[in-house]
Every structure is written in structure tokens, then in C-alpha cells.
Amino acid sequence: MSEINTERDIDLVQKSLKGDAKAFEALVRHYQVLVLTVVHRTLQDQEAARDITQETFVKAFRALKTFDGKRSFKTWLLAIASNTCIDYLRSRSSKGALSLEKILEEEPYLEQSFATAQKTSPEEEAEMNLFITKLSWALSLLPLRYRQAFILRYQFDLTYEEISQVMNENENTVRTLLHRAKERLRKLILETKNPFPNLE
């Protein structure tokens, strides 16, 4: 469901622009957990995530006058966080592993894998854990834009419209990125030999 601006957010933004420090502090308190979670799952580095989260709010404060209300404050803020993560990853040439915790129910090939790996026995639980590990490994190999779109869609349940706003892409491009991301994941997971032989 697409989120619209709340009167509370708009009021706090307006007060912040007038110099009310407590108003911006209220925005930080409201959104800091969300931003930290998005950043941490993207970077997989707790210390870096804290730094990037702080940097995100600093950038948001400095750019507050550019917020025009055409999208939700949450989406505007996540766009800043996402771009800051991209800058960080590019500067570090990072390829850190990503954690995928949600079952991708709309993907039949994933549904089948999980269906045969329910936690009904130690062996089946180990199979499911290995599959999730392989899925996280495959996700870490995706090009940055594919990975970014995939995380926002399947880990944070953003709509195509919200993702397009966060990534500054049109919705058709977002759909294409997600389609290609899933195709590459399918190929990596189903066609690549287990990259973690010690887990078998």
C-alpha cells in the first residue's frame, strides 16, 4: 500500500524549517529504526550502518527545504538513505553478503524449495538454512541496482511506485530490474554448484 504524507510529518517538516530543533528530532526518532534497518540489511555492517544512518539524517536536514510533499517523507528519506548506501558501497567496492529473511512466495521455484525444507526435522531444517544461505550468496552477486530494487521490494515490501521514487527510476525500469534480478537469482541458485561445501 502506498503511503501518503501524514499531517504530522508535514507539520514537523515545516516546524523544522522554521528552526524548531525538537521537530526534526521527532522525525529522527520516528524513522531512525526503519532507516537503520534498511541500511544495515544493505551493508551487512553494523558499525557502517550506524554511520550511514547518521549521515542520512544529516543530509535530510540539510536538504529539508527541497522536500516538496509530492511523495511521502518516508520515501523521500529512504531515497537519501539508499543513495548514501550506494555511495558507500561504491567507495568501498563492497560485495558484502546480504541476508534474505522473507520467503519469496510469488516465485514458484522458491516456493518449491521451501516447501521441501520445513522445520520438521534437523535434516530438513539444515536444508532450509543452506538454501537461505545460497540465496543470500546469490543476492550478493547481483549488480547493485538489481540488488537495491530486490531488497526494497522483497525485504521491505515497498510498492513499485515507492521503489521508483527511492531509486529515481520509472516503474517500468523497476519492473525490469526486478525481473532480471529474479532471473539471475534463479540461474545462480538452480545452476550453480553449492558454493558452501562445508555446509552440506
User: Nearest-5° angle of CA 46, CA 23, CA 53?
Assistant: 15
pTM above threshold 0.85: no
Query: Of 94, 86, 104, 105, whose CA–CA distance to 169 is shortest?
Result: 86
- CA dihedral (161, 89, 135, 133) positive or negative: negative
- Report pLDDT digits (tens) over 149-164: 888 888 777 889 889 9
Range of the domain at 162: 108-199
Residue scoring higher pLDDT (192 or 171) = 171
Distance CA 163, CA 175 (A): 10
Residue 65 has pLDDT above 60, yes or no: yes
Residue scoring higher pLDDT (135 or 194) = 135
If you average pLDDT over residues 163-180, what whole number do you get? 91
- CATH number for the domain spanning 152: value is 1.10.10.10
Other C-beta atoms lying within 10 Å of the C-beta of residue 142: 22
Number of domains the chain contains: 2
59 shares a domain with 28: yes
Q: Read off φ and ψ for residue 45, nearest 5 degrees.
A: -145, 105
